[in-house]
A and B are shown apart, each in its own frame.
Chain A
Amino acid sequence: MAEGNGRDALAGIRVVECGDFVSSSFAAKQLADLGAEVIKIESPGRGDTARHRGPYAGTPDLDRSGLFLYLNTNKRGIAVDLESASGREILARLAATADLVIHNVAPADIDRLGLNDVRLRAARPELVVTSISPFGLAGPNRDLHMHDLNLWAAGGIATLNGGGPGSDDMPPLKGFGQQAGYQAGLNAAVASLGALYATLASGEGQLVEVSVQECLTSILEMAYEFYPYMGLVASRLGQKPIAPLDFLECKDGWIFICCVEEHQWHRFVELAGNPEWATMELFDNRLSRAANWDALQIFLSEYAAEQTVENLYHEAQARRVPFAPVSTMGDLLASEHLKTRGFFATLDDGSGAEAVMPGAPYRHALTPWRIRKRAPRLGEDTDRVLGDLGYGPADLGRLRATGVIG
């Protein structure tokens, strides 16, 4: 591992990322945004799936997809075909200069694409190789074909969301976006940094294995434990145990009302002007309010319909009642709180249009998260990175002519 620069926490750590779409890209992004030098390998011509997904400011363009621009900040990009022996040779030479290789290649393809960790580490013992796969590197489900939605279902979260009273026919519901990929990326970053920390002491690298299904099963809150502890299977169906914890429509949008503790309910009732319905015995405590939610919901909905989201949110919070707006994307971008903190990052999408995206998820006092460069165009850094590995102009010409690089 090279020396740091004193400014970025992970400066001098070289990462080769060799994956597709969300999980490995997001894992490597987190390290890149903290200063690691990340070189992303994509397939020539097609590039990463995220390039094809948008959103785009104008016409679809592989170099201007918002999702790709977000997931690949601060990285350099090379296009190399790992299906070819010459491409795998490039990967091997690059990995021999790296501290971490991170990929989400399917287990059955790992050896074929030159990502066997034992072979990579034979050339560089201090190398950490992190593999992200749907079910991990062993077990009967290892080679099943899975997309994000399937993993969300496999991880046990989908069954917990959707439906509800009166809508039991509706299917289990996913959260917005490629959330299995993000959770895997979060875990892969933690595990990879843990392994790199060990390498600092020992000089030895290792294989790190991340199972996406397991990442999701590890965040089921108390829903899983109801089964081993009480024999109960948690479900999206049926009534919530306590109330109110629900979405209500105001004049100008939606709010989430949240009274977990009795004092929060009492302060909310006071805020609402102590209406007569609030004194009914049916609504005496959080359990009875849940049992009588059908009735309570009518009163609360009538109340909320007269309010604005902003006013109810801030008035409730002024009384330490944890309501929250159901923020629209426009609300987030306009939030005074987030503006004051300078949360959003603005990048050029490559055509001069602005891409405003999530910024620092944490703020280190000495080594702040920062964007040093925008995501690479497909193959933008191929020549320079391969040049540094010793490939001359003639080599590059030959590799390009045979489609090995792009």
Chain B
Amino acid sequence: MSRDEASPNVKRKPLAGIRVADFTWVWAGPFCSLQLAHLGAEVIRVETASRTCVTRLLPPWPDAQPGVNRSGYFNQYNQGKRSLSLNLKDERAMEIARDLIRASDVVVENFAAGVFARMGLGYETCRALKPDVVMISLSGYGASGPESEYVSYGPAQVPLSGFSSVTGYRGWRPMHIGVSYGDPTAGLQGATAVLAALIHRRRTGQGQFIDLSQWESTMALLPEAILAQTMSGHAPERDGNRDPSWAPHAIYRCAGDDRWVSIAVADNAEWRALANVIEPALAADTRFASAAARKQNEDALDAAIGAWCATRTREEVRDTLQAARVAAFPVMTAKDLHDDPHLGSRDYFVELPHPEVGIRRHMGIPYRLHGTPIAVWRAAPCLGEDTDYVLRDVLGYREDRIEALRNASVLS
């Protein structure tokens, strides 16, 4: 039975009373429904044991032992959700899925366009089951257009969206961003789209369908490059960590093994403050006297600052420059974040018991609602952990019916 003495909706969280039928997988969709869970919705992930979420099969796993309930990737992005396992190849499981949609306010899915409808659960079906349902499809390419049924993987979404062509070291090949950036970007915008639709529903009683293209929602974060092309006729060149008008704007190597610090200066006052710390003569150097001059002589500028940083620890650079109100901060690694006294002081990390991985530290909710406090109420679910709860308490099935379904392998 489930580990949920504290039901997610006991506190008056913003979305208390909203139920989400969550047919998502990988990252974009689960990140969308994660936000809804954070805000207090009861999110029920529909999973299938023979085809689990990809992230259940990916590392990291404690002791390097794989297991569908052991992945840190899955457990990070499915906190506070429930898991209902259904063998969707069985018509009786499809009937349960339809019952769940009848009992839900929101349906979220992120298959390639058309796949969910071919499973028999398209928007028209969902609306017939629940007339005021809000449904969102977060597909790679959107529900229409000549490439709508193309396959979209997170790592490929970054180059597709245009980010890679403008990200990278100067003169080098295109590069990535470091994570499958389109996925969380789409997930957050999907959550905004759903919340707006819920506000509309609350005021009018109308549900609706939302078509989100991960490609398009990722381009929403690339306006400067797109506008440079359309307004001035040429896209920006790949230029490392530099900025088109601010300098210095770089990541410098510090003393130690792979230790780095970021330094950015927005105006002449910040430059003088920085120069006075490093070497007062720099502040008087005409090569660096204005933003335009610093951009023109940026290699020399970076060499001077880089030499200063190279003999100092990143903490020393941060402290010395911050004392002069210069924006300097270390490049944080996972271990740095894990041990960070600031994050640790903010009650940000989530450490809740999990039957298979024990207590592990996870990233929490990056926003706080001080009037309707939100907090992760439970660690990510084990596969099918809430099947009985959902069938019995949400859908009202009798115990003998649940038992019969289980014996017929419908609930796997």
A residues apposed to B, CB below 8 Å: 3-4, 6, 9-10, 13, 30, 34, 52-57, 66-67, 69-71, 135-136, 138-141, 144-162, 170-179, 182-183, 186-191, 193-198, 200, 202, 204-211, 213-215, 217-230, 232-237, 245, 247, 249, 254-256, 258, 260, 317, 320-333, 336-338, 340-341, 343-344, 349, 353-367
Which residues of B sit under 8 angstroms from A344, Cβ to Cβ? Answer: 226
Task: Tell whether, in the assembled complex, residue B35 and residue A190 are in contact, meaning their CB atoms are under 8 Å apart.
Answer: yes
- Size of chain B's interface in residues, with CB distance under 8 A? 154
Interface string of B299-340 (1 = CB under 8 A from A): 000000000000000000000001001111111111111100
Which residues does chain A contribute within 8 Å of B141, judged by CB atoms?
337
For A213, what are the chain B residues with a Cβ–Cβ distance below 8 Å? 342-343
Determine if B236 and A176 form an interchain contact, defined as CB atoms under 8 angstroms apart: yes
Question: Please, which residue of chain B has its CB at the minimum distance from the CB of A258?
Answer: B156
Given known contacts A67-B224, A225-B72, A361-B220, is B27 in contact with A197 (CB within 8 Å)? no
Q: A150-B327, A222-B76, A324-B157 are in contact. Are A194 and B15 (CB under 8 A)?
A: yes
Closest to B246 in A: A147
CB contact list, B207-259 vs A, under 8 A: 208-213, 215-217, 219-232, 235-236, 240-241, 243-246, 249-253, 258
Residue of A10, A144, A354, A364 ringed by the most chain B CB atoms within 10 A: A364
Is there an interface contact between B334 and A140, defined as CB atoms closer than 8 Å? no
> How far is B341's CA from A138's CA once the two chains are assembled, in angstroms?
12
Given contact pairs A149-B243, A206-B372, A328-B162, a sample of 19 additional A-B residue pairs in the complex whose CB atoms are under 8 Å apart: A135-B342, A136-B346, A144-B329, A150-B264, A151-B329, A194-B14, A198-B12, A206-B371, A221-B183, A223-B334, A229-B360, A230-B59, A245-B155, A320-B151, A333-B226, A356-B227, A358-B220, A361-B189, A364-B196
Main secondary structure of the interface of B (DSSP, over half): mixed
Is A247's CB under 8 angstroms from B155's CB?
no
9 pairs, CB–CB < 8 Å, chain A vs chain B: A139-B346, A147-B249, A150-B327, A171-B251, A190-B188, A205-B371, A214-B346, A329-B165, A362-B190
Partner of A190, one of B58, B362, B367: B367
Task: Judge if B87 is at the interface, Cβ distance under 8 Å.
Answer: no
Known: A135-B342, A363-B210. A66 touches B334 (CB 8 A): no
Tell me whether B366 and A218 are in contact (CB under 8 A): yes
Cβ-defined contact, B203 with A177, below 8 A: no
* CB atoms of A30 and B192 under 8 A apart: yes
User: Are the CB atoms of B162 and A327 closer together than 8 Å?
Assistant: yes
- A206 and B370 contact, CB distance less than 8 A: yes
Tell me whether B122 is interfacial, beta carbon within 8 Å.
no
Q: Does B200 contact A (CB under 8 A)?
A: yes
Hey, which chain A residues are within 8 Å of B73, CB to CB? 221-222, 225
Query: Nearest CB to that of A188 among chain B residues?
Result: B367
A residues less than 8 Å from B252 (CB atoms): 171
Tell whether, in the assembled complex, residue A228 and residue B361 are in contact, meaning their CB atoms are under 8 Å apart: yes
Whether the Cβ atoms of B357 and A247 lie closer than 8 Å is no
Contacts of A367 in B (CB 8 A): 196-197, 200, 208
A6 touches B204 (CB 8 A): yes
In the complex with contacts A361-B189, A365-B209, A182-B221 CB distance below 8 A = yes
* Cβ 8 A contact of B332, one of A156, A162, A191, A198: A156
For the complex, what is the distance from the CA of A171 to the CA of B197, rounded to whole Å?
A: 43
The answer to whether A176 touches B328, judged by C-beta atoms less than 8 angstroms apart, is no
A4-B200, A9-B196 known; A226-B334 Cβ under 8 A: yes
Of B167-175, B281-289, B385-393, B399-407, the one with at least 4 CB within 8 A of chain A? B167-175
**Which residues of chain B come closer than 8 Å to A30, judged between CB atoms?**
189, 192
Task: For the complex, give the distance between the alpha carbons of A72 and B336 in Å.
Answer: 36
Find chain B residues with CB under 8 A from A230 CB.
Answer: 59-62, 64, 72
Given A198-B369, A229-B61: A358 and B156 interface contact (C-beta under 8 Å): no
The stretch that binds A, out of B2-10, B45-53, B88-96, B142-150, is B142-150
Contact B211 A195 (CB under 8 A): no
* Interface contact A327-B35, CB-CB below 8 Å: no
Asked if B166 is an interface residue, CB under 8 A from chain A, the answer is yes
A-B complex: 8 closest residue pairs judged by Cβ atoms: A206-B371, A225-B72, A66-B227, A161-B178, A160-B178, A214-B366, A191-B367, A329-B229
Instruction: From B136, B157, B333, give the contact of A159 (CB < 8 A).
Output: B333
Q: Is the CB of A172 within 8 A of B338?
A: no
Give bound CA distance, A228 to B339, whole Å: 11
Judge whether B235 and A330 touch: CB under 8 Å: yes
Check A357 against B223 for contact (C-beta < 8 Å).
yes
Residues of B within 8 A of A214 (CB): 343, 346, 348, 363-364, 366-367
Let me know if A225 and B360 touch, CB within 8 A. yes
Q: Which residue of B lies closest to A321 (CB)?
A: B151
User: Please, which residues of chain A bring their CB within 8 A of the CB of B361?
Assistant: 228
Contact B178 A337 (CB under 8 A): no
C-alpha spacing A208/B374, complex, angstroms: 11
Q: Which residue of A lies closest to B192 (CB)?
A: A189
Taking a contact as CB atoms closer than 8 A, the residue among A147, A189, A255 that contacts B264 in the complex is A147
Q: For the complex formed, measure the closest distance between the CB of B56 and the CB atoms of chain A, giving whole angstroms.
A: 12
Contact A194–B370 (Cβ < 8 Å): no
Residues in chain A near residue B159, CB distance under 8 A: 247, 254-256, 324-327
| Interchain nearest-CB distance for A180 vs B (Å) | 11
Contacts of A215 in B (CB 8 A): 366-367
Whether B174 contacts A227 by the Cβ 8 Å rule is no
A176 touches B225 (CB 8 A): yes
Asked if B249 and A149 make an inter-chain contact with CB atoms under 8 angstroms apart, the answer reads yes
The answer to whether A340 touches B221, judged by C-beta atoms less than 8 angstroms apart, is no
Closest to B273 in A: A145
Residues of the A chain whose Cβ atoms lie less than 8 Å from the Cβ of B241: 149, 171, 173-174
Q: Which of A170, A188, A208, A357 contacts B230 (CB 8 A)?
A: A357
For B367, give the chain A residue with the smallest CB separation. A191
